[in-house]
Each structure stands twice: as C-alpha cells, then as structure tokens.
Amino acid sequence: MPPEIDAGAAVAGLSHPLALRRGVAYIRLMIRPILIHPDPRLKKVCDPVALITPEVRQLAADMLETMYDAPGIGLAAPQVGVTKRIIVMDCIKDGPPEPIVLVNPQILWSSEDVTTYEEGCLSIPEQYAEVKRPAEVQVRWTDLDGKTQERQFAGLWATCVQHEIDHLDGKLFIDYLGPLKRQMITRKMEKLKRERARAG
C-alpha cells in the first residue's frame, strides 16, 4: 500500500486516494486514532473551517486513510479529535471507490419520505440500531479547492451524509434511540474502553 498520496487529487473523488499518483506534491498519510464513545469531544459542536489550508488537506487525506483502514463508509473530524466541520465518505461497496470530502456541509433540503437503515459508527464499534432519516437530502459544501459544491444524495449516501453531519453537531446515532437502549450501548462502550486501556 503506497504510504503517500497527492492530497489535492484525493479530494477530486475520481479514484481511490491510495492509488492516486498525480501531481508532484505528495503528503504522508497517517491513520489517526478514532475516539470511542463516551468522549466529551464527540458531543461538541464543531467550528466552521475558515480557509482551505495545507493542514485541512492533510486532515482530509488522513481521515480518508483512517476511514478505509477501519473500515467504514464515513468519518467526521471530531471522531479523530478535531472539532472542525469536515466529513469524508465513500459508500461504494462494489465497484471503483468514490471518496468525497465535504468541508462545512449544510443540508439545504430534506425529503418528506423517510428510510430506515441499520446504522453503526466507528466511534461505537460493533453496535447497530435502526434509525429513520429523510430518504433524500440536498447538501452544499466547500471542496478542497475552495469551490462550492451541491449534490442531492439518496439511499445509503443520504443516510451516511446525515449521520456524519450529525457528528459535527455533537450528535450520535444512538441519540435517536430510547434511553434504555442508549444507556446499554454506552455501558458496553465504557467496558470496551476499560478493556482496551488494560490491554494497551
């Protein structure tokens, strides 16, 4: 697996970021630790990104690397301890990967139709629950070239983008569940963190 990518090319979403070799400015990727619930950093409302800087591009590239390594289909910056409004996604299960980076994403419109998916989360490993969300959403964001983008997401992409934007507002998928189910999952995560701390 190549250790470096062209971060500018990675955000184009044209091919798997680990395979990109275009351009000359390579950056070194880093798999960042994923925070596990409960963690106060996962409950904070994230700050908007003011400028697309090399640090933002580095973070985006690292987040994609971390997401693919986990593996997962989405990751938000607060999950790696950075309280900035950045998410990455790739919901392609079969076929060429389609990585996408969304900076300061905003949901402009949500459909009245809803859909139910069994959701999981890299910050709540091995726990799943059915969550209802709008079936389609229109989202506006800034890409890593500083350009405004808009896209209507449907299906798994719609669920994923809503799940990840929730992270930017300090909300987890378990917050949609009843208190008993939420408490049960939280206790399991507390136990997992204790076990990992002892093993670490």
The reply to whether omega before 38 is within 30° of 0 (cis) is: yes
Cα dihedral 169/82/198/182 (nearest 10): 10
- pLDDT tens per residue across span 42-76: 999 999 999 999 999 999 999 999 999 999 999 99
Q: Which residue in this structure is represented by tokens 């960042």?
A: 32
List of domains in the chain: 4-199 (3.90.45.10)
- Residue-wise pLDDT tens digits, 56-65: 999 999 999 9
Q: What are phi and psi of 104, to 5 degrees?
A: 50, 50
Cα–Cα distance measured from residue 50 to residue 71, given in angstroms and rounded to the nearest whole number: 29
| 21: amino acid identity, one letter | R
pLDDT of residue 113: 98
Q: What is the pTM of this model?
A: 0.87
Q: Is 119 a catalytic residue?
A: no
CA distance 32 to 15: 22
DSSP state of 93: S
Give the three-state DSSP class for 98: coil
Task: Identify whether the C-beta of residue 36 lies closer than 8 Å to the C-beta of residue 193.
Answer: yes
Active site residue: 119, 164, 190, 195, which one? 164
Query: How far separated are the first and last CA of the chain, in Å rounded?
Result: 26
